[in-house]
Amino acid sequence: MIHESLRAATLTPPPTAAMMEFLNDVVEGLSAMPKRISSKYFYDDKGSQLFQKIMELPEYYLTRTEAEILTVHKQAILDIIGDEPFNLVELGAGDGQKTSILIRHFLERSIEFYFAPIDISEHALLTLANALANEFPDLRFQGIHDEYFNGVRRLNKLFQNEGKSSDSRAHRRNIVLFLGSNIGNFSRADAIDFLKHLRTSMREEDYLLIGFDLKKDVKVLQAAYDDAAGVTRAFNMNVLTRMNRELGATFSLETFQHYATYNPMISAMESYLLSTEAQSVWIQTAGRAFHFDAYEPIHTEYSHKYSLHDIQTFASEAGFEVVYHFTDSNKYFVDSLWRVKPAAKPNFS
């Protein structure tokens, strides 16, 4: 069965290496001024489950708008990428609800493709396996449990090891999906760097379908990132719970509060955890304590918002060319389809 094949094929990095990276990032971040923790550490199994709940909230427009885009424009996307066999590679697959819109359409059109979801959460991958096994029993796929770049590298190596036959997956085009607003969690410089590195793993016939959250009314943004039900608060707080569990930290969640605000100078929603009192927190694996002043923040996330001009600039600087911007009816969001720019490997400065 597909579910069992995914269980057997899911590739897992050594947990000790992942824990050491987590620890090093936490020590570096909590030693900085201002303090910070990368938003990538939101997404353990519990964090991934909380994010699924966020996507169902009435205030969280992003999931609905992107689902609308893919539903309305799925054939237009296929018309552009063509019906020759390809590998459909998704970065940060999550529960696959949005991707299933494309998968269903491709299968209905008898398109030959192989699905390769990459996700940092093993729980998310196994949940996805169950959903795909039930909904698309004929779908062929390989789950990769890893971070994006490691996952892409391992996937390419896996395909290359299949052999040199002309019909192997190594010889097919890659259609890479980076849906949602994940790119917005990077600073501008880091986003460009991310896209340049992604470009180096792609070939000239490959495409990238990437989501960008557009600039809009601040009240809409504020509601989406600080919902009335408190799910986003729990999502942000979960990084403290994770540090307690995995690193032996002594964070008391009752002495921290979630705070989200829009920064118009950088066009970004920003999320923080505020220490409501002066305190010191011990982290066992670090062998040291970290002091917090009253109402001192830990910065946990940026979520940048963009104009179409910003997106065009990103594509050009990273070695891509924009083929088409697919937007929703409210112009809240865009899934931008990019093609690798011919003979234009990015220039790393």
pLDDT exceeds 90 at position 53: yes
Map tokens 């290359």 to a residue: 160
Burial 187-219 (b: 16+ CB within 10 A, else e): ebeebbebbbebbebbeeebbbbbbbbbbeeee
| Maximal C-alpha separation, the chain | 64
Using 50, 70 and 90 to split pLDDT, how confident is the model at 7? Answer: very low
- pLDDT at position 342 is 82
Please provide the average confidence, as pLDDT, over all residues in the chain. 89
What per-residue confidence (pLDDT) applies to 254?
97
- Higher per-residue confidence, 301 vs 172: 301
pLDDT for the residue numbered 1: 31
Confidence of residue 148 (pLDDT cuts 50, 70, 90): confident
Mean pLDDT (whole number) for 282-311: 97
SS3 state at 327: strand
Tens digit of each residue's pLDDT (9 = 90 or more) over 190-247 = 999 999 989 988 888 899 999 999 999 999 999 999 999 999 999 999 999 999 999 9
**Taking 50 as the threshold, does the pLDDT of residue 288 lie above it?**
yes
The better pLDDT of the pair 159, 99 is held by: 99
- Residue 245: Cβ-neighbour burial (10 angstroms; 0-12, 13-18, 19+): exposed
Q: Please check the confidence at residue 83 and state whether its pLDDT lies above 70.
A: yes
Residues 40, 104: Cα–Cα separation, whole Å: 29
Q: How far apart are CA 46 and CA 154, in angstroms?
A: 26
pLDDT band at residue 307 using 50, 70 and 90 as cut-offs? very high
> What is the average per-residue pLDDT within 140-151?
82
Q: What gap in Å lies between CA 262 and CA 269, rounded to an integer? A: 4
Q: Classify strands 173-178 and 207-213 as parallel, antiparallel or unpaired.
A: parallel
Q: How confident is the model at residue 152 (pLDDT cuts 50, 70, 90)?
A: confident
Residue 4: pLDDT band with limits 50, 70, 90 = very low
pLDDT digit string, tens, across residues 242-279 = 999 999 999 999 999 999 999 999 999 999 999 999 99
**Dist. CA 275–CA 260, nearest whole Å:** 14
Task: Give the percent of the chain with pLDDT over 90.
Answer: 69
- Report yes or no: 307 and 215 within 8 Å, Cβ to Cβ: yes
Angle at alpha carbon of residue 186, lines to 319 and 341, rounded to 5°: 10
| Structure confidence by residue, pLDDT tens digits, 165-190 | 545 566 688 999 999 999 999 999 99
DSSP annotation of 150: H
Strand 144-145, strand 113-119: pairing: parallel
Domains and CATH numbers, the chain: 53-216+306-340 (3.40.50.150)
pLDDT reported for residue 262: 98
267: left (phi over 0), alpha (psi -120 to 50) or beta: left
State the amino acid at position 236 in one-letter form.
Answer: N
* Statement: residue 8 has pLDDT above 50: no
Residues ≥6 apart with Cβ < 8 Å to 59: 223, 224, 227, 228
Distance of alpha carbon 246 from alpha carbon 266, whole angstroms:
33
Task: Tell me what pLDDT residue 264 has.
Answer: 96
Q: Residue 190 is encoded by which pair of tokens?
A: 């880091």
Contact 80, 324 (CB under 8 A): yes
Instruction: State the pLDDT confidence band at 320, using cuts at 50, 70 and 90.
Output: very high
Q: Which residues contact 99 (CB under 8 A, 6 or more apart)?
A: 88, 90, 93, 115, 117, 177, 179
Comparing 12 with 287, the larger pLDDT belongs to 287
Residues in Cβ contact with 82 at an 8 Å cutoff, skipping those fewer than 6 apart: none
pLDDT of residue 301 exceeding 90, the answer is yes
SS3 17: helix
DSSP codes, 34-75: SEE--GGGG-SHHHHHHHHHHHTSTT-HHHHHHHHHHHHHHH
